[in-house]
């Protein structure tokens, strides 16, 4: 393959140095008491060795948990608005998984639907992604059921695959080529018989997603959702760790002199997400809110944006206090119609 | 992907600054603001279509979503009507003439009045649901010759709760508008010459003809629930009944996810829906 | 009798309509399950991996609608039921506590009295690693402890998994949800995080039953349970009261007794 190279493990040090010299910060998974999160690193030695996935997703690099949208100062009869400077520190995300890298496209679909979100775009414009293929997976993963895979390239500018002595490197975009150009000597052509596929984790397809998406409209009133949501405690952990969840709140903070308007992460699982000031709540039960999560990702996104709102990373399952396993729930949903028909026939 | 990102893209969350030019107390807890753009260039550049809404800022409290209650045919100002019901509306209710608010908009879709030329228009509304329809009514009255009969059925709990009392007077006096006012039983005041009864039975009694008629229905959920079957019985097709929805909103731009109902985003695909379109949405609004 | 047999017996007899217990989930983790049919009781497990305080479901509408609920509980879960009774959130007839001993044998506790008696006989020390961290915190200076929590709470994302997992956080409208006035800033910046956790710790002082669910629920690994463990220990030391000891507790921080030790009130 023309864009397939190899890098030795030791040359990562030089690559990191070249990136830092180029004025970029590097965010990579680091270990902390058994949790892995994306943090600034200086050398490959800082990067978590054996991290399947970070708990929080990479979306925080382009959609932070708190972001100032505007500021204002107040005087009698006067308001002065302040348009915040666009934050765009050149950043390289190193070592994020193909599933997470695929999430950026879903974020872009929302942030640039109709109107363009300047804050997101400024950060995306300054971002490059060096992804890391997966050589193992766990029971929460289901990337292959949603059009992804352990070696999928969507969203990565360079994709590394661990191999003996180093990595295979696919250089996938202009941004990837620009990184390569910082230290071209580190990238030697991959051997002709290099086979990326055998190095990757086996992730069997768990459910028929196109069939599920087609069935969802008919399942809206199914008792399935109440059953699945019985143990859901209504927190926002799933939405907040998700690479594609983008729902947000806008909050105002200030006093008589002035203040600021902040955007923060929000979640459809919270009971007051759709609560009207009148007290009316269109989604008054956890079952309705759980159903919304599934439908938003698997029915509404394909309809609106031509892509799924889920990358199969499994972070939600791992973060959930009560193990709401999305893959398991979706498999059950995809079987629900057939089961109901079988029931009716008995 | 957005490769053509410009580092200096416009901030879509930045509101226009508006000065309160006039305040009208419509009913207990309900007021109307007439707002003028602080920046004359913004005023010149601004236009909207009837049915659209905006997000109004009370700086220090937050933003609230209201329809634009004035007609697009009137330039130089916009109006909004709101009831004090929460933190932001309480902040708005505190404001005085000359104070500065924020406004983002116009957002949402519109009532397709250009498709209604030559048709009769039937407005059915109650209480504080008149504001969104008031924009349409005023728009159509400014283009009166384009439409057939115009009938307005409007009710409130009590005489005091009727909003836009000045407009109601003006519409009452027009020979080319049939205004039917009603108050709930027990809500009449001495000298009340309108009807007494809930809006749905008043509509049933009126028995408007569906021929060549567009119906616009906007009201509290119970009023809508009881009025729709009556219109169906009278022969109105779901595609000729229009309503406007309200849902909890924050961004108004289709991004924050809050107003998503079924496959629809009320801020983008709405707030104007035909009954036929509403029928395709789950009852989550 | 083990949990499976007991659950089967209870459901077959109609003594309860649902059994809240545990089943094995993803990657071997144990998770809550609500068994309604006797034939499904085989799914139930109860082992050291079963840590959730299932009592939190006793106040949730979708679960209450199932009918009378039996719950497989650790001592902290039984304490939670008693505390919920003391706070008038559940009634004795609505729940049946199933205490499971280390051998997996089940004791039915149908009354508050039985639950109190059982707890009096059951040792339930704070887990060793939690105690080690509590001791470490106690040895810190105030400034060090402040630094510790500032650092931990900076990672908080305000997902409210802690609040949602807590049996004592049953308020339909939480202080955090109130915006008139906005007591605590919702965003998860420094102040927003700190104020939320401080308010929650105070609201739980004397009410926390020390199940540790909040800390386990935190997706980013903040040992937030230690804050409420500590306030509960402080209330015990100052008022001589332990949360969940009885269904007849009057809340220490809102009850005046003439023999209270504070002198300023005399």
pLDDT digits (tens, 9 = 90+) for C148-177: 999 999 999 999 999 999 999 999 899 999
Tell me which residue range forms the domain holding C226.
128-254
The yes-or-no verdict on residue A278 having pLDDT over 90 is no
Domain count, chain C: 2
Task: Name every residue whose Cβ is closer than 8 Å to that of residue B129 and which is 6 or more positions away in sequence.
Answer: B218, B219, B220, B223
The reported pLDDT for the residue numbered B178 is 97
Q: What is the pLDDT averaged over residues A38-43?
A: 96
Q: What is the pLDDT averaged over residues A47-68?
A: 94
Are A157 and A98 within 8 A, CB to CB? no
The reported pLDDT for the residue numbered B184 is 95
**Residue position matching structure tokens 């990757």:** A200
The reported pLDDT for the residue numbered B224 is 86
- The DSSP element (H or E) to which A319 belongs, if any, is helix A315-319
Cis peptide before C243 (omega within 30 of 0): no
Half-sphere exposure of A185 (CA within 13 A, CB side): 4
The yes-or-no verdict on residue B175 having pLDDT over 80 is yes
CA–CA dist B193, A227 (Å, integer): 55
Domain ranges of chain A: 4-69+78-345
Please list every residue in chain C whose beta carbon sits closer than 8 Å to the beta carbon of residue B86: 179-180
Backbone angles phi, psi at C129, to 5 degrees: -70, -30
* Model pTM score: 0.94
CB contact (8 A) between residue C221 and residue A32: yes
The reported pLDDT for the residue numbered A339 is 77
pLDDT tens, position by position, B134-167: 999 999 999 999 999 999 999 999 999 999 999 9
Q: What is the pLDDT averaged over residues B254-266?
A: 92
Q: Is C259 part of a structural domain of the chain?
A: no
- The DSSP element (H or E) to which A128 belongs, if any, is strand A127-132
Q: Is C173 part of a structural domain of the chain?
A: yes
As beta bridge partners, residue B264 has B261
Helices A286-295, A326-345: axis angle to 10 degrees equals 100
pLDDT above 70 as % of chain B: 98
According to DSSP, residue A298 is labeled I
pLDDT tens, position by position, C98-146: 999 988 999 999 999 999 999 999 989 889 989 999 999 999 999 999 9
Same domain, C86 and C193: no
The yes-or-no verdict on residue B225 having pLDDT over 90 is no
Instruction: Convert A236-272 into a string of H (helix), E (strand) and C (coil).
Output: CHHHHHCCCCCCEEEEEEECCCEEEEEEEECCCCCCC
Helix runs in B87-236, H state only: 87-93, 130-142, 165-173, 199-206, 221-234
CB contact (8 A) between residue A276 and residue B254: no
As beta bridge partners, residue B195 has B182
The yes-or-no verdict on residue C241 having pLDDT over 70 is yes
Same domain, C56 and C153: no
Q: Is C212 part of a structural domain of the chain?
A: yes
Same domain, C159 and C181: yes
CA–CA dist C77, C60 (Å, integer): 15
Q: How confident is the model at residue A133 (pLDDT cuts 50, 70, 90)?
A: very high
Q: How confident is the model at residue A277 (pLDDT cuts 50, 70, 90)?
A: confident
The reported pLDDT for the residue numbered C152 is 94
CA–CA dist A229, A320 (Å, integer): 12
Same domain, C138 and C109: no
Burial class of residue C102, CB neighbours in 10 A (0-12, 13-18, 19+) = exposed
Please list every residue in chain C whose beta carbon sits closer than 8 Å to the beta carbon of residue B87: 179-180, 182
Of C121, C150, C180, the residue that ends a domain is C121
CA distances from B110 to A18, B113, B236, B267 (A): 54, 8, 21, 11
CB contact (8 A) between residue C179 and residue B87: yes
CA–CA dist B221, B285 (Å, integer): 10
Are A67 and A85 within 8 A, CB to CB? no
The reported pLDDT for the residue numbered B143 is 96
The reported pLDDT for the residue numbered B6 is 57
The reported pLDDT for the residue numbered B283 is 79
Q: What is the pLDDT averaged over residues A7-16?
A: 94
CA–CA dist B53, B37 (Å, integer): 16
Q: What is the pLDDT averaged over residues A77-86?
A: 93
Q: What is the pLDDT averaged over residues B34-48?
A: 96
Mutate: best of C179, C181, C186, partner B, most B CBs <10 A: C179
The yes-or-no verdict on residue A346 having pLDDT over 80 is no
Same domain, C211 and C228: yes
The reported pLDDT for the residue numbered C266 is 63
pLDDT tens, position by position, C174-203: 999 998 999 999 999 999 999 999 999 999
The reported pLDDT for the residue numbered B2 is 44
Q: How confident is the model at residue C260 (pLDDT cuts 50, 70, 90)?
A: confident
Are C150 and C194 within 8 A, CB to CB? yes
- Could you tell me the two tokens for A82? 């302040």
CA–CA dist C44, C70 (Å, integer): 13
E strand segments, chain C: 18-24, 30-35, 69-73, 95-100, 106-109
The yes-or-no verdict on residue C68 having pLDDT over 80 is yes
Same domain, C132 and C250: yes
Q: What is the pLDDT averaged over residues A269-291?
A: 92
Q: What is the pLDDT averaged over residues A199-206?
A: 94
As beta bridge partners, residue A253 has A260
What average pLDDT does chain B have? Answer: 93
The reported pLDDT for the residue numbered C265 is 67
What subunits touch chain A, counting only 3 or more CB pairs under 8 A? B, C
Please list every residue in chain A whose beta carbon sits closer than 8 Å to the beta carbon of residue B255: 110-111, 113, 117, 246, 248
Of C121, C145, C173, the residue that ends a domain is C121
Rounded to a whole number of angstroms, the distance from the CA of A140 to the nearest CA of chain B is 26
Are B53 and B246 within 8 A, CB to CB? no
Of C121, C154, C185, the residue that ends a domain is C121
Q: Is C265 part of a structural domain of the chain?
A: no
Q: What is the pLDDT averaged over residues B99-111?
A: 96
The reported pLDDT for the residue numbered C83 is 96
Are A42 and A16 within 8 A, CB to CB? yes
Q: Is C263 part of a structural domain of the chain?
A: no
CA distances from B255 to A62, A170, A187 (A): 15, 33, 40
Backbone angles phi, psi at C55, to 5 degrees: -60, -20
- Could you tell me the two tokens for C37? 């049919």
Are B113 and B139 within 8 A, CB to CB? yes
Same domain, C111 and C152: no
Q: What is the pLDDT averaged over residues A80-85?
A: 95
According to DSSP, residue B26 is labeled E
What average pLDDT does chain A have? Answer: 94
CA distances from C200 to A51, C169, C203, C214, C260 (A): 33, 9, 5, 11, 25
CA–CA dist A266, A263 (Å, integer): 9
CB contact (8 A) between residue A253 and residue C187: yes
Please list every residue in chain A whose beta carbon sits closer than 8 Å to the beta carbon of residue C155: 37
Are C196 and C184 within 8 A, CB to CB? yes
Same domain, C111 and C145: no
Cis peptide before C169 (omega within 30 of 0): no
CB contact (8 A) between residue B260 and residue A300: yes
The yes-or-no verdict on residue B1 having pLDDT over 50 is no
Q: What is the pLDDT averaged over residues C200-216?
A: 95
- Could you tell me the two tokens for A290? 């759980």
Same domain, C95 and C206: no
């Amino acid at each position: 393959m023309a864009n397939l190279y190899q890098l030795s493990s030791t040359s990562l040090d030089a690559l990191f140095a070249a990136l830092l010299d180029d004025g970029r910060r590097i965010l990579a998974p680091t270990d902390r008491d058994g949790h892995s999160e994306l943090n600034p690193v200086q050398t490959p030695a800082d990067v978590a060795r054996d991290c399947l996935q970070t708990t929080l997703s990479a979306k925080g690099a382009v959609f932070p948990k708190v972001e100032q949208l505007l500021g204002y100062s107040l005087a009698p009869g006067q308001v002065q608005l302040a348009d915040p400077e666009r934050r765009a520190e050149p950043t390289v995300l190193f070592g994020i998984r193909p599933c997470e890298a695929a999430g950026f496209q879903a974020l872009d679909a929302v942030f640039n639907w109709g109107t363009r979100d300047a804050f997101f775009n400024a950060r995306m414009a300054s971002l490059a992604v060096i992804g890391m293929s997966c050589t193992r997976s766990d029971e929460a993963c289901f990337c292959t059921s949603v059009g992804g895979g352990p070696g999928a390239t969507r969203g990565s500018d360079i994709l590394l695959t661990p191999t003996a002595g180093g990595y295979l490197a696919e250089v996938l975009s202009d941004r990837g080529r620009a990184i390569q150009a910082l230290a071209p000597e580190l990238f030697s052509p991959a051997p002709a018989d290099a086979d990326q596929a055998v190095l990757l984790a086996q992730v069997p397809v768990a459910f028929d997603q196109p069939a599920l998406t087609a069935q969802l409209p008919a399942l809206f009133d199914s008792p399935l959702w109440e059953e699945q949501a019985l143990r859901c405690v209504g927190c926002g952990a799933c939405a907040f760790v998700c690479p594609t969840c983008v729902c947000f709140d806008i909050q105002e903070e200030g006093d008589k002199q002035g203040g600021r308007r902040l955007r923060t992460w929000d979640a459809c699982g919270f009971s007051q997400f759709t609560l009207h000031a009148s007290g009316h709540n269109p989604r008054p039960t956890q079952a309705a809110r759980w159903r919304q999560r599934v439908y938003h990702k698997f029915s509404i996104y394909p309809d609106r944006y031509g892509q799924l709102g889920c990358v199969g990373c499994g972070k939600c399952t791992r973060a959930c206090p009560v193990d709401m396993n999305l893959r398991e729930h979706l498999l059950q949903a995809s079987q629900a119609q057939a089961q109901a028909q079988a029931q009716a026939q008995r | 992907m957005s490769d053509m990102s410009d580092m200096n893209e416009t901030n879509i969350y930045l509101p226009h600054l508006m000065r309160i030019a006039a305040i009208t107390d419509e009913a207990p807890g309900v007021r109307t603001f007439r707002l003028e753009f602080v920046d004359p260039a913004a005023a010149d550049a601004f236009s909207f279509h009837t049915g659209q809404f905006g997000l109004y800022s009370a700086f220090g409290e937050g933003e609230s979503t209201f329809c634009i209650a004035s007609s697009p045919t009137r330039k130089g100002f916009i109006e909004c009507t709101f009831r004090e019901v929460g933190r932001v509306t309480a902040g708005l209710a505190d404001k005085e003439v000359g104070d500065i608010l924020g406004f983002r908009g116009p957002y949402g879709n519109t009532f397709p009045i250009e498709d209604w030329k030559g048709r009769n228009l039937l407005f059915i509304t109650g209480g504080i649901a008149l504001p969104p329809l008031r924009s349409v009514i005023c728009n159509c009255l400014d283009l009166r010759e384009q439409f057939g009969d115009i009938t307005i059925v409007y009710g409130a709990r009590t005489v005091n709760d009727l909003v836009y009392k000045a407009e109601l007077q003006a519409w009452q006096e027009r020979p080319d508008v049939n205004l039917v006012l009603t108050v709930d039983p027990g809500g009449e005041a001495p000298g009340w010459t309108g009807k007494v009864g809930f809006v749905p039975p008043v509509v049933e009694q009126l028995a408007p003809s569906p021929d060549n008629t567009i119906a616009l229905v906007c009201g509290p959920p119970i009023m809508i629930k009881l009025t729709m079957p009556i219109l169906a019985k009278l022969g109105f097709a779901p595609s000729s009944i229009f309503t406007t929805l309200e849902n909890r909103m924050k961004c108004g731009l289709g991004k924050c996810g809050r107003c998503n109902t079924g496959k629809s985003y009320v801020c983008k695909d709405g707030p104007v829906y035909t009954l036929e379109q509403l029928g395709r949405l789950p009852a989550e609004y | 009798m083990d949990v499976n047999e007991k659950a089967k017996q209870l459901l077959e007899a109609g003594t309860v309509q649902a059994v809240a217990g545990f089943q094995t989930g993803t990657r071997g983790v144990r998770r809550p399950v609500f068994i309604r049919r006797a034939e499904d009781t085989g799914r139930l497990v109860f082992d050291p991996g079963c840590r959730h305080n299932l009592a939190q479901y006793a106040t949730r509408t979708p679960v209450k609608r199932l009918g009378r609920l039996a719950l497989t509980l650790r001592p902290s879960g039984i304490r939670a039921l008693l505390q919920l009774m003391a706070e008038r959130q559940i009634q004795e007839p609505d729940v049946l506590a199933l205490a499971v001993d280390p051998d997996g044998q089940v004791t039915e506790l149908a009354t508050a009295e039985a639950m109190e008696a059982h707890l009096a006989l059951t040792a339930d020390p704070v887990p060793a690693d939690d105690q080690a961290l509590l001791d470490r915190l106690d040895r810190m200076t105030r400034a060090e402890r402040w630094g510790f929590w500032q650092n931990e709470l900076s990672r908080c994302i305000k997902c409210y998994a802690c609040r949602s997992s807590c049996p004592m956080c049953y308020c339909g409208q939480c202080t955090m949800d109130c915006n008139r006035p906005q007591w605590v800033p919702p965003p998860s910046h420094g102040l927003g995080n700190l104020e939320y956790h401080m308010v929650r710790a105070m609201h739980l002082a004397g009410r926390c039953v020390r199940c540790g669910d909040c800390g386990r629920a935190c997706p980013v690994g903040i040992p937030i349970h230690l804050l409420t463990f500590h306030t509960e220990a402080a209330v015990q030391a100052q008022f001589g009261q332990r949360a969940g000891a009885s269904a007849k507790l009057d809340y220490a921080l809102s009850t005046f007794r003439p023999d209270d030790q504070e002198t300023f009130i005399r």
